[in-house]
Every structure is written in C-alpha cells, then in structure tokens.
Structure 1
Amino acid sequence: MVKRLKRLNIFMLLLLLIFPVTVRGEGYIRPNNFMDKSGAEKVAEIKRFQALSNLMVTGGINDMTYKVLYGPNMVVKDVITNPPTSGEWIVINKTKKTLTYYNGTSPMYKFPVAIGSSATPTPSAKAKIANKHVNPAWGGMNGKYQPKAADDPNNPLGERWMGLSIPGHSGYGIHGTIKPGQIGQAVSNGCIRMFNYDIETFIFPRVKVGMPVWMGTDEELESWGVSQIVVEEAPQPVEAVQEPVEVETFQPAELLEF
C-alpha cells in the first residue's frame, strides 16, 4: 500500500510539473514531496523534485530550485525534435544528472542519478539496453575490486542491473545503489546509479532489451534534438468574468394581478 501511494505521488508530481496548475498571487508553492520530510529522506525528495523540474540535481535548495518552487510562472519543458523511436526510450543528462523515460516525445518519468567521476566518466553515446538482471552479481571490474556475490549487502549494483550496448565501450550499465547519498554526484566508475526504489518500481519493469538510451551533456543532447529546460514565462492576463445576473421572470397571468 505504501509503495502504491509513493508511486502515485511521483506520477502526480510529474504531471503537475509538466502541466502546472495555474496559481497566481502570494503563497504559491509548487507541488513537492519534501516540505514535510527531514534528514536524508528530505534530501532524496529534493533531488527527485529537481529532476522532475529539469534542474541540476544537488539535493539543496539553491537559487534556481527556490525560484521553481515558489515561482508560478516557471514552466518545465522537454522539447524533442528527433526521437529515436515513437515508443519508449531513455535519456541520461550528464549535466543535470537525471534520467528521463520518454514515450516518443512525451516524458513519462524523471529521476535523479549518479554518473561517472572525472577519472572514470560516463561515456556520451547513443546506446541500447543489452541485458537485464535481478539481484546481479558484480565481477569487480576485471580485478580492480573484490567481486561481490548477488546477495552480498556490499554489492554496489543494488538489486537491479540493465547492461548497455555502447559502440567502443563495454561494462557500463544502469543499476541500483548501496550509497543513496551519492545520487546526484559524479562518483561512479562510469555506470549510472539510481535510487533503488526508482529503478525497481518504475524503470526496470518497463525497460526492454534493445531500447534506445541516449547519454550526453546538455549541449550534446541539444545537438541531438533533446532540450530539457525550465523557463520563466510571462503571466497570462486574467480576464474578469462577469457573474450572471439572475432575472426574475413572470408568467402573463401574474402581470395582470394587482
């Protein structure tokens, strides 16, 4: 029941952020799931809010996050001019550190991710999902680290793995994490990490082998026809609505009575 409610909350937030409710005047607050949270849970929800808002994921209320949170004229837009398919596909934004799951040109989900560090960066590429595994073992990157069994709590892959087919590269994938506090950072060996709940509930069940996955910076994605932006639009003038005037009607017979 709790998972179903959380799943519904995330879905409703995406709808409200992409198709925001028009609210004018003082006291506007964009829908979010972090105002009533504290500690690590609050930070995680701020990261989700930033991903949903096409903001750079930091986990803190910076100036732009504050502006989107309290600005009724801030509009989240995904402009896709050249999708690889009319079906479902994924975009990893390395600048914002987000994963967006599209159906054609329409975003279905947006989540914060961790990407590769400067020493071991996530490659920019038009890739595809090569394989999927539940509760995967980890090989330790060809001897660089100690391998971890599937049920090892120290397995850095978490409970889900989606391998990527990338021209000229191998060993990369999208997976869960045992270090949720690092989501939104450039800290991995090149793979894309997600919150376990996000990948297990929303992404892994839908993904199919062969699905396109585009990975790049803001500039690279824009050159491929993918713009993920948040802009401030001028407020629309509110037209005065005249209330209907109730006119009393009389029957002809009533008019003859004195």
Structure 2
Amino acid sequence: MDKSGVERRDELKRWQALMNLPVTGTLDEKTKTALYTENYEAYDEIKNPPSKGYWIAINKSRRTLTLYKGSKSQGKYPVTLGTNATPTPSAKAKMQNKHKNPAWGGMGGKYTPVAADDPNNPLGERWMGLRIPGQNGYGIHGNIKPHQIGGYYSNGCIRMFNYDIENYVFPIVPVGAPVWLGTDNELESWGLYQYSRIMKEKPAPKPVEKPVEKSVEDPMMQIEKVNAGELLEF
C-alpha cells in the first residue's frame, strides 16, 4: 500500500490473486474487507488433485492462475482472459509445449504475424501451449499490455505479467502437466475450492465440570452434633 501509480496497481492485483479475490487492481469493497479485517482467511481445498507434481488452475471468475504441487498452492498470479466474443474455454487440459521468445502467427491471418523478440509481439517472451479437447491455439503467455491484467481482453488465451510467467511458472511447469480452466462453479464441481472469507468463529469449548466430592464425615465428629444433655456419664 506504500506504492503509487502503476506499481501500486500491479502489486494490488498480485495481492488480490494471493487472497483468492477477484482481480481488479482497485480498492473495491471485497479488497477493503480483506485488508482491514484481522480474522480474514484465504486458502484452497482440493478433493482429488490431478497430479502429485506441478499443475495449474485458471479461475475464470476471479482472473487468477494458481500453481499447485499436488494439493499445495505454490503461488497465485493475476491474469487476463478472453472477451465475451472470444472467451477462454472451460476444460481439463494439458500443457502441450513451451517456447521462449516465440513468434506470433497472427491467428491464421486474422492479424499481421509478429516475429520473435519484436517488442510488439503480444505473446511477450514466453509461450505455454495448451492441449484442449476439441480446441486449438490456446496458451498461457506474457503480454505487452500489463494494464489489462485482471480483465477480459484477450482472444481466449491467458496472459500473465511477464515477470511472473518468466520467473515463477514457465521454469517449473513441465510439458504434460494438467491445466484446469473454469469458473468458480466449474472448479468446485471438479473438487477445487478457493476460499476467501472472514474466518468463522469457533464455538467456545464447554467448561469441564469437576465432579462434586462428597465429604466423608469423621465418626469421631458425630459427637459434636449430640446435645450435651444426652451424653451418658461414666
């Protein structure tokens, strides 16, 4: 929160992703609640992870990419997703290929192709192609429009901050790794839950009642309860 300008916006997006919040880059109400609520929690629950190794989940509702190893989150990052006209598909996919400094083909003639290492290459300098049943041409890659991270602006691909993909995702995720792409509801139907909420208060434990000890009177003390006039004198 001590940053300003573009740096503040980008770091806020990263923090929102870390907290399983919808990525907006603004101090919206959900973000304020997470920032200023002491007992706020964010965690993931996975019923049956698709791999014991590294794999990825793309949350289309929150615009986040989570890197997992088995059932443990290894990092969360904000992303750009497809528009309503060119949506990012929902699927259980696989990592098909990986390339450094890729050229861009222009989507089969829709756009002018761009060579590798060209600063106008919309893929940035990393490409991670996806194998999606019945689909082709989709991937996770860098970008040249970081201000769009956290929104729905792409032709269906998943864009990341260049620094994030180059340092945290591309070097680690192997070809063949599972990649899940879906909304909150779709991911939950597959057994992946990404929680972001005020921590539920646990009921206070009931105090343990100690058993009441019955006092055992000393027979010699019974005499103190007898009237003096009733005592026999020997």
TM-score under structure 1 normalisation?
Answer: 0.77
Residue number in structure 2 paired with 1:226: 192
Amino acid at match of 1:94: K
1:235, CA displacement in angstroms?
A: 5.3
Say whether residues 1:44 and 2:10 are aligned partners: yes
Contact 2:54–2:174 under 8 Å retained in 1: no
1:233, CA displacement in angstroms?
A: 1.8
SS in 2 for 1:227: strand
Contact 2:68–2:74 under 8 Å retained in 1: yes
SS in 1 for 2:10: helix
Aligned to 1:95, which of 58, 61, 80?
61
* Uncovered stretches (5+) of structure 2, i.e. residues with no partner: 205-234
1:72, CA displacement in angstroms?
A: 1.2
Say whether residues 1:194 and 2:135 are aligned partners: no
Amino acid at match of 2:36: Y
Pick 1 or 2: higher relative contact order, CA cutoff 8 A, min separation 6.
2
Residue number in structure 1 paired with 2:229: none
Mapped to 2, the partners of 1:233 and 1:162 lie a distance apart of 36
TM-superposition CA deviations, 1:146-188 (whole Å, max 9, x none): 0000021110000100000000000000000000000000000
What number of residue pairs does the alignment pair up?
Answer: 204
Amino acid at match of 2:122: P
TM-superposition CA deviations, 1:173-228 (whole Å, max 9, x none): 00000000000000000000000000001000001100000000000000000011
Q: CA RMSD in A?
A: 1.3
Say whether residues 1:158 and 2:99 are aligned partners: no
Contact 1:73–1:235 under 8 Å retained in 2: no
Mapped to 1, the partners of 2:4 and 2:113 lie a distance apart of 35
Mapped to 1, the partners of 2:73 and 2:197 lie a distance apart of 17
Residue number in structure 2 paired with 1:173: 139
Contact 1:120–1:189 under 8 Å retained in 2: yes
TM-score under structure 2 normalisation?
Answer: 0.85
Where does structure 1 differ by over 3 angstroms across 4 or more consecutive aligned residues? 234-238
SS in 2 for 1:127: strand
Mapped to 2, the partners of 1:121 and 1:187 lie a distance apart of 9
Residue number in structure 1 paired with 2:19: 53
Residue number in structure 2 paired with 1:21: none
Mapped to 2, the partners of 1:74 and 1:227 lie a distance apart of 17
Say whether residues 1:137 and 2:103 are aligned partners: yes
1:236, CA displacement in angstroms?
A: 6.8
Mapped to 2, the partners of 1:237 and 1:213 lie a distance apart of 39
SS in 2 for 1:50: helix
Aligned to 1:125, which of 88, 91, 98?
91
Residue number in structure 1 paired with 2:228: none
* Uncovered stretches (5+) of structure 1, i.e. residues with no partner: 1-34, 239-258
SS in 1 for 2:79: strand
